[in-house]
Amino acid sequence: MTQEALKLALEAMELCNGAETVDGVVIYTDKEIAAIKEALAQPEQEPVAWMRQDGQKVTTASDRHNYPDYETRYSIPLYTTPPQRTWQGLTDQDWKEIEDMPDTFDQGVAWAQAKLKEKNT
């Protein structure tokens, strides 16, 4: 996500934080706001090379002047270290959801796995 997109998301979350929906549900986005602020505080990585969509050729930033259509031909950025995401755990609300589930261990594990996959992919 670009810095500009993160700033827009942060602005929207701050506007919604603590607001009440038509159904009377209060929206809390404190954890999401903190995660966005943490991401904005990190320096944005610069790609070290770019790859074509077909994966055929990799070119470095120094080759940029050799190709007039560089931006369209080489559109996949490559980084030395992939950007790291903050792990998202289960919230108190998530744990409340599990109270309504059947009491089998396998179902609880499946629920937790699905919930964490949803939050972290």
Q: What are the domain boundaries of the chain?
A: 1-44, 46-82, 87-121
Amino acid 71: pLDDT: 58
Q: Are 38 and 62 in contact (CB under 8 A)?
A: no
In tens, the pLDDT along 10-62 reads 888 888 888 887 788 878 788 888 888 888 888 777 777 777 777 666 666 66
pTM over 0.75: no
Amino acid 58: pLDDT: 62
Amino acid 83: pLDDT: 63
In tens, the pLDDT along 77-110 reads 777 776 667 778 888 888 777 777 667 777 788 8
> Distance between CA atoms of 59 and 67, rounded to whole angstroms?
10
Amino acid 70: pLDDT: 59
Burial class (CB in 10 A: 0-12, 13-18, 19+), 36: buried
**The three-state (H, E, C) secondary structure of 12-68, written as one string:** HHHHHCCCECCCCCECCCHHHHHHHHHHHHCCCCCCCEEECCCCCCEEEHHHHHHCC
